[in-house]
Amino acid sequence: MQRKKECVAMLLAGGQGSRLYALTNNIAKPAVAFGAKYRIIDFPLSNCINSGIDTVGVLTQYQPLELNEYIGNGQPWDLDRAFGGVHILSPYQGKKKSSWYEGTANAIYQNMRFMKRYNPDYVLILSGDHIYRMDYAAMLKAHKETGADCTIAAIEVPMKEASRFGILNTNPDGSIYEFEEKPKQPKSNLASMGIYIFTASKLFKYLEEDEANPDSSKDFGKDVLPAMLNAGEKMYSYLFKGYWKDVGTISALWEANMDLLGEKPVFDVGDSGWKIHSRNPLAPPEYIGDEAVVDNSMIALGCEIEGTVINSVLASNVVVEAGAVVKDSVIMAGTVIKAGAKVSYSIIDENVVVEDGACVGTDKEVKNAQIAVLGRQITIGSGAVVEGGKILDKDYKGE
């Protein structure tokens, strides 16, 4: 008997993440740090293993070094398997031609051989830029029950925001009769989450056809899905209720971090029924000092806090010296906030030094504050002022 996997997941992690600016200068978006100890890709990977899917292809092409190193052999997610497990799929040179991934559909098409190795009945397509907990097994069950060729996960969004999304128009039984990509006048508020389950044979057929079509932009949303619908294939929506956040922009990334805070957080990352796995920092417990004030915050291992931290998310080995104040901010691993410095409404990447007395971000409590962003490994000079909304990726000594 040929060994097989019922369902193989393909995770599109090639996103450049250009709207995250300095945060994705050197790393792919799925490798961006989130929630004090996680990276964005921990969420889809953990969802996979928690849903019983143990074969995952991760498609990368933009700045893959850090992402590849992070995923490694997949052991932190229990995805180091003799048959299956997690595999990094980079574009490669073929005998006839070599090509970068051109669109989402082309990226999957180029890895047809990888999928076929597992002889799957179903293929799950995921993207690497969302924060959410989801049971893909329940979605697969629905896919089988409806006998669909393709099932698309969808979430209800506020009607006034619907024109920013790919909208699914469905019949009462959930079957889809129309797609509308960012419609001006949306007919429904059911937005596609970019999560698809295909019956494998259908996926392979339509990928071949799409590849042969010179006019196609080789994208799932724009080309493959409409082609299937036009051909009369059975397509269903799968309604997801729960937290789901696209963290593709600075403000969304900041908000998603803030959603973790509080006694009843918008998104509870500590909910142990569905553990989010990650690589863990090798660090001692965090130390909160004599004069420290820590309020409504999340703090990871290895931090040394002597100053004030309010409404903030601090990753491992962050130092906040005495007299420094960090408010409403996201601070990534290894960053040092020196004595008397003030940081508010900011996202500060790894290993940044904010020298004493420097001031980063607006300290006015305004709605939709413009988030200041400091890229990794830079130094903000003593007494320098970085205004709200500024994005820096080089050392800054002030005016």
Partner 1 sequence: MASAVGVIFSNIHDEDIPELSRHRTMGSIPFGGRYRLIDFTLSNMVNSGITTVGLVTKHNYQSLLDHIGSGKDWDLARKDGGVILLAPYSDETDTPYTNRLEALKGITGFLTRRKEDYVVISDCDCVARLDIADIIRFHEEKQADITMVYHKGKVPMSSYYITLSPDETGRVQGMQITPKTDEDVDLYINIMVLKREFLLNIIRDAITRGLSSFGRDVLSHNLKSMRVFGYFFGGYYAGMDSLQTYYRKNMELLDKDVRDALFGARDIYTKVRDSAPSKYLDGAKVKDSLISDGCVIEGTVERCILFRGVRVGKGTVLKNSIVMQDTVIGANAELDCVITDKNVVIRDNMRLAGCESLPYFVMKGRML
Q: Binders of partner 1 among 293-312, rule CB under 8 A? A: 294-301, 304
- What span, in angstroms and rounded, lies between the C-alpha atoms of 77 and 8? 16
* Residue placing its CB nearer to partner 1 in the complex, 16 or 280: 280
Task: Please tell me whether residue 278 binds partner 1 under the rule CB under 8 A.
Answer: yes
Tell whether residue 227 is a contact of partner 1 (CB under 8 A).
no
Q: Is 155 in the site for partner 1 (CB under 8 A)?
A: no
From candidates 1, 82, 212, 282, binder to partner 1 by CB under 8 A: 282
Nearer to partner 1 by C-beta: 35 or 248? 35
Displacement of CA 200 from its chain's centroid (Å): 25
Nearer to partner 1, 141 or 275 (CB): 275
Encoded tokens for 67: 């992402």
Beta strands 372-374 and 346-348 are: parallel
Round to whole Å and give the CA distance between 156 and 396: 43
Nearest in space to 130 (alpha carbons), one of 222, 46, 237, 6: 46
Instruction: Based on the shown chain and the rule CB under 8 A, indicate whether residue 283 belongs to the binding site for partner 1.
Output: yes
Q: Give 33 or 250: the residue with its C-beta nearer to partner 1.
A: 33
Report the residue number, 5 or 338, with the smaller CB distance to partner 1. Answer: 338
Structure tokens at 2: 């040929």
User: Which token pair is 98?
Assistant: 């070599």
Residue 263 has a CB neighbour count (10 Å cut-off) of 5
Give yes or no for residue 133 binding partner 1 (CB under 8 A). no
Shortest Å distance, C-beta 203 to partner 1:
32
Selected binder of partner 1 within 100, 231, 287, 398 (CB under 8 A): 287
User: Which residue in the set 82, 92, 94, 263 belongs to the binding site for partner 1 (CB under 8 A)?
Assistant: 263
309 three-state secondary structure: strand
- How many Cβ atoms are within 10 Å of 378's Cβ, its own excluded? 18
Residue 275 binding partner 1, by CB under 8 A:
yes
Of the pair 311, 370, the CB lying nearest partner 1 is at 311
Cα 285 to Cα 374: distance, rounded to the nearest angstrom: 26
Residue 117 makes contact with partner 1 by CB under 8 A: no
Nearer to partner 1, 66 or 304 (CB): 304
112 scored as a contact of partner 1 (CB under 8 A):
no
d(CA 335, CA 146): 50
Q: Which stretch binds partner 1 (CB under 8 A): 6-14, 60-68, 132-140, 278-286?
A: 278-286
**289 touching partner 1, by CB under 8 A:** yes
The reply to whether 75 sits near partner 1 by the rule CB under 8 A is yes
Residue 106 or 257 having the CB closest to partner 1: 257
Instruction: Compute the least distance from the CB of residue 272 to partner 1, in Å.
Output: 8
Q: Minimum distance between the CB of residue 136 and partner 1, rounded to whole angstroms?
A: 19
SS3 string, 108-139, reads HHCCHHHHHHCCCCEEEEEECCEEECCCHHHH
**Residue 52 touching partner 1 (CB under 8 A):** no
CB 384, CB 358: distance < 8 Å: yes
Structure tokens at 195: 């999560």
Residue 208 structure tokens: 């071949």
Residue 208 or 291 with smaller CB distance to partner 1 = 291
Long-range contacts of 69-75 (CB under 8 A, 24+ apart): 70/31, 70/39, 70/41, 70/279, 71/41, 71/45, 72/279, 74/45
CA distances from 71 to 11, 23, 31, 64, 68 (A): 12, 19, 9, 10, 5
# residues contacting partner 1 (CB under 8 A): 37
- Say whether residue 288 binds partner 1 (CB under 8 A): yes
Residue 14 or 302 with smaller CB distance to partner 1:
302
Site residues for partner 1, window 233-262 (CB under 8 A)? 261-262
Chain contacts with partner 1 (rule: CB under 8 A): 35-37, 75-76, 261-263, 269-270, 275-278, 280, 282-292, 294-301, 304, 313, 315
